[in-house]
Chain A
Amino acid sequence: MPDGKTLSAEEFVVQMKGITKVYPNGVAANQGVDFNLRRGEIHALMGENGAGKSTLMKMLFGLEQPTSGEIIVNGEKLELTSPSVAIAHGIGMVHQHFMLVPSLSVAENMVLGMVPRKSGIFIDRAKAIEITREYSEKFNLKVEPEAKVVDIPVGMKQKVEILKALVRGARILIMDEPTAVLTSQETAELFVELKNLKNQGYTIVFISHKLNEIMEITDRLTIMRNGRSMGVYNTCDVTKEDISRLMVGRDVVLSVQKDKAVPGDTVLKIRDLEYVNEWHKKMLDKVSFDVRKGEILGIAGVEGNGQKELVDMLFNFNVPNSGTVTVNGVNILGMPQRKIRELGVSLVPEDRMLYGIAAGASIEENVISDRASEKHLNNGPLFNMKAIHEEADRLIKEYTVLCKSRSQHVGMLSGGNIQKVVVAREFSNDPVLILADQPTRGIDVGATEFIRKKLVELSRSGIAVLLVSADLNEVMELSDSLIVMHNGQIAAYFEDTAGLTDEIMGEYMLGLKKQTEEEVRRACHD
């Protein structure tokens, strides 16, 4: 409040008190979080991926229910059991991935679920278009009511989403990373519209980790880290550096014993990798670096800054627009995964349920997926079941996979044990290069420590390791040298991770600082 007096409860449109959310798999996504919104403010909710922002907002929108804590909207304590309850209380959400029917027109999408009828039977299209026009003009959000959603640009889709929420009577709008998909022009336009909404008394929650945007548009901000709130601040009272420090920080330091790396020859060599995605956004911009034998090269960065695209290129899930990638001198771009594996490249994929395992198959079937055709597991046309059982039992033991037997379905294991199955396979096929993409995301402490130790052990035995992780703890602890990515570029390269602090990292990760080209060039060991 401008005059600094204490706020009475009526001045908050939303109060979330002591919210704790524990998911069925045991992950505590929110722990005693307090969050409140004043009427007519734009409030930023900030934090790294996995900090618990989405979970908190899902609870406000009724998509998830808190394990404990209470939610008070307009002074009324509510049980938000579903989005329809939230909508009825004036809460609307604009999802990052639009929830629109592409084959229907803008107007039809607008009235979906509340269709105006002619004589109670026929859809009143004219009325739908009229409603759309009316709201579009009222809030100055320009859309074409008769255009099909599939044909309109991303920026307009977002406006349709906002209008959809407004038509349903939303007074509080939750916007999940609204600028992630927008061009800078569209972003500027959106900000004008959001300010306009604010002036009309609407309250907006703005989820983002882009500092410039936050500083430009928000009134207050709540920062989250590791499922806890790090406090509420007036945007005008804090600097970008403060935010960076609060957002990117380490709480617990698990230390992994590690000798100094003695890097050998270059294994993975990446030069001038460029990639523009289907929405014409440059995701990789002149990325060049090397990974050498016996070292762990870490890639840090806020998610969405090109790390995913980079890994995709390295395992042929995508091809770049230009640039080269070689493994021990062999070009691997566009090479089938089978051939890449034959070169000794292993991948611990980011999305383990999609790529890492076949959930409906047994542990045994999952650990042999990359070597099922190898001689030692086959007897002529048939499998050598004895050898396969031995292999599976050996890996289960070595990687301490907690299970009833090798024939148990992988989908029935816990997250940590599923990941152990993945690494058991990927680490045991005599790799020369291991690509570890978010290897410990969302898994328990025991499994995390085990996998980190294994990575260090393998690198010291002469394997090149590329570690991509959004977990600052992890990259700083494990890496011998470190790259920070921002906006598809290498923002910084640190030859040695000793002496690096969270603050320095945060500044590069959030784009406040950037090394010179010469400094970044040191990542190439020619």
Chain B
Amino acid sequence: MTKRRQMRFTIIRSLVAILIALLVATILIFISAAGATFQDKLEATREALKQMLAGPLFRFSKKSGTAFEAKRLADILAAMIPTIFTGLSVCVMFSANQFNLGAEGGIMLGAFITAMAAIYMPLFAGLHPLVAVLLGGAVVAVVMLLPALLKTKLNVSEMVCSLMLNYIIMYVIKFLMNTYLADKSRGQIMSYAFRETANIPPIINNSVFSGAKLTWGFVIAILAVILCGLFMYRSRWGYAIRMIGINQDFAKYSGMKVGGVIVLSQLLGGFLAGAGGGIEMLGRYTNFSWSALPGYGWTGITIAILAGNNPYMVPLAAFFMAYLSKGCDLMATYAKVPAQLIDIVQGVIFLFFAAEQFLSGYRQKLVVKSAQEEIEMAKAQKEGI
């Protein structure tokens, strides 16, 4: 099959999966919608769907009609920052055929280390966030050595190992916070405030974006996407990662350092997750108060799968997830539908993407078509000679 046909299949498959997920969501909304009569329920469902699908970008008011809302768009873009990083992290790790689920713990640890550097390291503005974020990324990269080396040296399942690692990281951070690092003058467990020098500033500070937290972190995230894309598709290391992911025996036979490259992919994945956590922390918060895993890592896995492990598709997938999340929030606020619905919608989409055989009949058709064309081409070439 040609690349273009492959791409077409991927896009159509994605759209169908999303459509089916929305259909399931609609049915669920209808069931949970308020209203005594069928008509009421239908009305409530329509309102809910409107909020969910168009709400993230438009405000509906009876007085001034429907209007584009820049603030909500900024909210969505801001929400994409951490998930772009975890999405990239998972892309890089999954590309090497390593099902490392450590992005979740990674982003929390990165956020924590960056926060500590923002509190305790006296540096000047500009340099401070850079050092703090890099430190956060580096520490997570080192921690990812654990599942990576256990996998390459002892063949321990990286999936189990990284999954458990998430909880170890979470509880160690909680322990440190509770015992040593919490600001005792506060009513809840949170750290001291970050130094002002560590702050990542918002992109524009005008009235349109007041309240939204769209920081320069977004630009960094997009830069990371480009760098990751270049790394994966235009460098010998990314190439080695992908080849190992496709066929490890082939990579070994071709003379690639399989173990080393697998470790490299996990280090890089760890770094991306950690740095993402740091950027999120310095952009959105003034002190560290996370007491549980933030969930960005799990979203990152969904994003990576939606993006087909292609870094360039990550922002799109992240936008979709953020949009959906915002829509469901609005739906919960304005249309009285439980926000938990997003988890169900996410689950359904995930299900259809993960099901490799989904639409395989259509795929087979494309393959056959390609094969026929190839045969005809061969014939034509023979006749030409």
Residue positions of A touching B, CB distance < 8 A:
315, 336-338, 340-342, 347, 349, 354-362, 365, 368-370, 372-373, 377-378, 381-383, 385, 402, 404-405, 407-409, 412-414
A372-B3 CB under 8 A given contacts A349-B253, A358-B243: no
State whether the Cβ of B123 lies closer than 8 Å to any Cβ in chain A: no
* Cα distance A302–B15 in the bound complex, in angstroms: 53
* Cα distance A430–B2 in the bound complex, in angstroms: 31
Mask of B1-18 contacts with A, CB within 8 angstroms, 1/0 = 111001000000000000
Q: Pick 23 A–B contacts, CB within 8 A, sort by A.
A: A336-B257, A338-B256, A341-B255, A354-B249, A357-B247, A358-B246, A358-B251, A361-B243, A365-B239, A365-B243, A369-B250, A369-B251, A370-B254, A382-B230, A385-B234, A402-B377, A402-B381, A405-B2, A407-B2, A409-B1, A409-B6, A412-B371, A413-B374
Q: B325-376: which have CB < 8 Å to A?
A: 367, 370-371, 374
State whether the Cβ of B235 lies closer than 8 Å to any Cβ in chain A: yes
* Cα distance A315–B243 in the bound complex, in angstroms: 19
A378-B236 in contact (CB<8A): yes
B257-A338 in contact (CB<8A): yes
Chain A residues with CB under 8 A of B234: 382-383, 385
A358-B236 in contact (CB<8A): no
B235-A369 in contact (CB<8A): no
B1-A372 in contact (CB<8A): no
* Cα distance A127–B3 in the bound complex, in angstroms: 57
Chain B residues with CB under 8 A of A338: 255-257
> Nearest Cβ distance between residue B251 and chain A, in whole angstroms?
7
Given contacts A358-B251, A370-B254, A407-B3, 16 further A-B contacts (CB under 8 A): A338-B256, A338-B257, A349-B253, A355-B249, A358-B243, A358-B246, A358-B247, A358-B250, A362-B3, A365-B242, A369-B251, A373-B236, A378-B236, A408-B2, A408-B3, A409-B6
A409 nearest in chain B by CB position: B1
State whether the Cβ of B107 lies closer than 8 Å to any Cβ in chain A: no
Q: B251-300: which have CB < 8 Å to A?
A: 251-257
State whether the Cβ of B240 lies closer than 8 Å to any Cβ in chain A: yes
* Cα distance A491–B377 in the bound complex, in angstroms: 47
> Nearest Cβ distance between residue B252 and chain A, in whole angstroms?
6
> Nearest Cβ distance between residue A422 and chain B, in whole angstroms?
10
* Cα distance A435–B255 in the bound complex, in angstroms: 15
B235-A381 in contact (CB<8A): yes
Most chain B CB within a 10 A radius of its CB, from A349, A356, A358: A358
> Nearest Cβ distance between residue B285 and chain A, in whole angstroms?
34
Instruction: Give the number of residues in B that approach A within 8 Å (Cβ atoms).
Output: 30
Most chain A CB within a 10 A radius of its CB, from B230, B246, B250, B252: B250
Chain A residues with CB under 8 A of B250: 354-358, 369
> Nearest Cβ distance between residue A431 and chain B, in whole angstroms?
13
> Nearest Cβ distance between residue B55 and chain A, in whole angstroms?
40
* Cα distance A402–B254 in the bound complex, in angstroms: 23
Residue in contact with A370 in the complex, picked from B235, B249, B255, B257, CB distance below 8 Å:
B255
B2-A402 in contact (CB<8A): no
Chain A residues with CB under 8 A of B164: none
> Nearest Cβ distance between residue B63 and chain A, in whole angstroms?
55
> Nearest Cβ distance between residue B210 and chain A, in whole angstroms?
41
B239-A383 in contact (CB<8A): yes
* Cα distance A419–B161 in the bound complex, in angstroms: 39
* Cα distance A383–B234 in the bound complex, in angstroms: 5
Q: B1-40: which have CB < 8 Å to A?
A: 1-3, 6
State whether the Cβ of B378 lies closer than 8 Å to any Cβ in chain A: yes
A407 nearest in chain B by CB position: B3
Most chain B CB within a 10 A radius of its CB, from A347, A365, A377: A365
Chain B residues with CB under 8 A of A340: 255
A383-B236 in contact (CB<8A): yes
Chain A residues with CB under 8 A of B374: 402, 404, 412-414
A338 nearest in chain B by CB position: B255
B255 nearest in chain A by CB position: A338
* Cα distance A408–B257 in the bound complex, in angstroms: 26
A347-B1 CB under 8 A given contacts A361-B243, A382-B230, A412-B367: no
A372-B253 CB under 8 A given contacts A357-B247, A358-B247: no
Chain B residues with CB under 8 A of A337: 252-255
Chain A residues with CB under 8 A of B378: 402
Mask of B227-245 contacts with A, CB within 8 angstroms, 1/0 = 0001000111001101100
* Cα distance A362–B6 in the bound complex, in angstroms: 12
Chain A residues with CB under 8 A of B381: 402
A315-B235 in contact (CB<8A): no
> Nearest Cβ distance between residue A419 and chain B, in whole angstroms?
14
Residue in contact with A359 in the complex, picked from B235, B246, B371, CB distance below 8 Å:
B246
Chain B residues with CB under 8 A of A404: 2, 374, 377
Chain A residues with CB under 8 A of B377: 402, 404
* Cα distance A383–B229 in the bound complex, in angstroms: 13
Chain B residues with CB under 8 A of A370: 254-255
B237 nearest in chain A by CB position: A381
A369-B249 in contact (CB<8A): no
* Cα distance A341–B257 in the bound complex, in angstroms: 13
> Nearest Cβ distance between residue A426 and chain B, in whole angstroms?
10
